[in-house]
Amino acid sequence: MDMIPGNKLAQELELSLGKLSVSLLGVKLLHMDPALRSSPPLSMAHWR
């Protein structure tokens, strides 16, 4: 199965894109809802 390096690369890219979109969604939520911004866990995630 390791004979196709492109396949693993695609999977890793998909994973990082997924994480990126999740963090972007979190930032959007933070900007949309001021009440969310004041809660510590979300503002911590905002700085990552």
pLDDT at 30: 72
What predicted TM-score, i.e. pTM, was given to this entire model?
Answer: 0.44
pLDDT at 12: 92
Indicate the length of the chain as a whole number. Answer: 48
Domain housing 41: 5-46
Give residues with Cβ within 8 angstroms of 48, minimum separation 6: 23
Domain count, the chain: 1
pLDDT at 42: 52
**Per-residue model confidence as pLDDT tens digits over 1-48:** 556 677 888 899 999 999 989 888 888 877 776 665 555 555 555 555
Instruction: Please check whether residue 30 is in contact with residue 43, taking contact to mean a CB–CB distance below 8 angstroms.
Output: yes
pLDDT at 7: 86
